[in-house]
């Protein structure tokens, strides 16, 4: 039994659907069906990002996810008033606050928690009052970890994009791993729980085992891509296999 959990991000199942069925209330593939397959395959949670521009996940998707999945629903979201209000009504198990830019293909960087202490603290308090845990998606920078503790979030999610981008460059990979290790160690000392995600795949996951105190990894694109060839259930099980041996 692995010590680190797998949350599967199903956004890009919806991306494929929206490529043909944008603006239609039905269409395939169905991200809800994908989520249920992920659960049956052993995933510990489901992640979905309700973007302000609704480019992939739609409002109806998150409500159906809330009703149908049996594991943990992680709602990724910008700290935007409309989305905050939806989250307070939806009551996911946890929200992960992320930066959001309309032009980006996917979330490109970490949240500037240090620069938005007041706004993020206000939202964290609203979520706490609704019984919803909060995670902040941040770069592995010590100042951002410290700010996350001040805000009072229960979790941080370390942005592993730079690690993934430079994985095939040994010197840079080691530098990025060191940043992740130091950020995770500080977070643990400050009482924060540590998740991680972005750009993680079947090639770079094992090396990430060097990062301590990880609770959950949130992985989407790589699993959906693999599922094109082998199916969603096998893709999830293969990823779970790569988590075996993590000792925290």
| C-beta atoms surrounding 228 within 10 Å | 10
Q: Which of 12, 176, 198, 216 is catalytic?
A: 198
The question of whether 49 is a catalytic residue gets the answer: yes
Residue 83 CB-half CA count within 13 A: 23
Q: Which of 12, 56, 76, 116 is catalytic?
A: 76
- C-alpha distances (whole Å) from 23 to each of 12, 34, 38 are 17, 20, 26
CA dihedral 123, 179, 191, 51 (to 10 degrees): 20
Q: Which of 12, 44, 49, 159 is catalytic?
A: 49
The question of whether 198 is a catalytic residue gets the answer: yes
Q: Which residues neighbour 197 within 8 Å (Cβ) at sequence distance 6 or greater?
A: 7, 9, 137, 157, 158, 159, 160, 217, 218, 219
> Which has the closest alpha carbon to 41: 246, 247, 190, 226?
226
**Tokens 């891509």 correspond to what residue?**
225
Lookup: tokens for 40: 């049956």
The question of whether 116 is a catalytic residue gets the answer: no
- Cα 59 to Cα 79: distance, rounded to the nearest angstrom: 16
Q: So which residues are the catalytic ones? A: 49, 76, 198
């Amino acid at each position: 039994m692995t010590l680190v959990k797998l949350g599967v991000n199903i956004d890009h199942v919806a991306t494929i659907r929206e490529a043909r069925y944008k603006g239609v209330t039905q269409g395939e593939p169905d991200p809800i069906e994908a989520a249920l397959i992920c659960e049956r395959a052993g995933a510990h949670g489901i992640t979905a990002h309700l973007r302000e521009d609704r480019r992939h996940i739609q409002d109806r998707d998150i409500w159906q996810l809330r009703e149908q999945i049996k594991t943990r629903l992680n709602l990724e979201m910008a700290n935007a008033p409309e989305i905050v209000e939806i989250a307070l009504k939806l009551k996911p198990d946890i929200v992960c606050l992320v930066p959001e830019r309309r032009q980006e293909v996917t979330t490109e960087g970490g949240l500037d928690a240090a620069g938005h202490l007041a706004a993020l603290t206000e939202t964290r308090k609203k979520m706490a009052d609704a019984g919803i845990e909060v995670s902040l998606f941040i770069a592995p920078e010590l100042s951002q970890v410290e700010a996350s503790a001040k805000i009072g979030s229960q979790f941080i999610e370390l942005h592993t994009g730079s690690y993934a981008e430079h994985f095939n460059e040994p010197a840079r990979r080691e530098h990025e791993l060191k940043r992740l290790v130091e950020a995770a160690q500080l977070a643990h000392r400050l009482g924060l729980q540590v998740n991680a995600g972005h750009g993680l795949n079947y090639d770079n996951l094992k090396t990430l085992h060097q990062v301590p105190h990880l609770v959950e990894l949130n992985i989407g694109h790589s699993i959906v891509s693999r599922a094109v060839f082998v199916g969603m259930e096998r893709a999830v099980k293969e990823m779970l296999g790569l988590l075996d041996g993590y000792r925290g």
